A and B are shown apart, each in its own frame.
Chain A
Amino acid sequence: EVQLVESGGGLVQPGGSLRLSCAASGFTFSSYDMHWVRQTTGKGLEWVSAIGTAGDTYYPGSVKGRFTISRENAKNSLYLQMNSLRAGDTAVYYCARGLGGYSYGWWFDPWGQGTLVTVSS
């Protein structure tokens, strides 16, 4: 069974940092692009980052320069380092396997259960 399990969420002060992890199982992790997607109550779903099989990374403007996605294929693990956190980064963060590709666009299947990040003083 393909499974993604996130961890590392929690309460952090504005300006602080947090590192999320995602443990993958049930598929050949190194062969797939991987993504982080977040969900806020007010703004719905927002794509946060992607990393290709070759380690190439992609970010939207809202997090570029603050967030860093990485992967460790030997451990079947995906990470998201989040720095300079703001209240607007408060959300449930999902890890997701990306299908399709950069050229024509990705779709996500499956998603993990999510981990909650709260940025507040």
Chain B
Amino acid sequence: SYDLTQPPSVSVSPGQTASITCSGDTLGNNYACWYQQKPGQSPVLVIYQDSKRPSGIPERFSGSNSGNTATLTISGTQAMDEADYYCQAWDSSTVVFGGGTKLTVL
């Protein structure tokens, strides 16, 4: 089976840049997307097709995908960005999710 690996946790100071990685074999050959999930809420799409932002998602969210790693970058991180983030990709006709990363803003 195809696995996507994320760090369990990432910490960032307010106003700084947070980077969350997602690693998988030749992940760069597939599209990756990212979801934000706050406690008690459903996941929300923040990046799709590696680097595109859905309507309503702030410009501080950006994404990239190359080689074996996709990266979600949050510039000028705000307290409201504290959440769990999940990457997702498509491999061999199966949707695959990463294990999630808890972003702490402190």
Contact = CB atoms under 8 A, between A and B. Distances in A.
Contacts of B89: 105
The binding surface of chain A is classed by DSSP as strand
Interface residues of B, number: 23
Interface in A34-58: 35, 37, 44-47, 50, 58
Contacts, number: 61
Given A44-B100, A105-B90, A99 B42 contact: no
Nearest to A108: B45
Contacts of A35: 95
Contact of B97 (A46, A50, A114): A46
A63 to B, nearest CB: 12
Contacts of B96: 47
Contacts of A104: 31, 90
The binding surface of chain B is classed by DSSP as strand
Given A45-B86, A45-B97, A100-B48, A105 B31 contact: yes
A107 B94 contact: no
A62 to B, nearest CB: 10
A60 B93 CA distance: 9
Interface in B68-89: 86, 88-89
Interface of B: 30-31, 33, 35, 42-45, 48-49, 54, 86, 88-90, 93-100
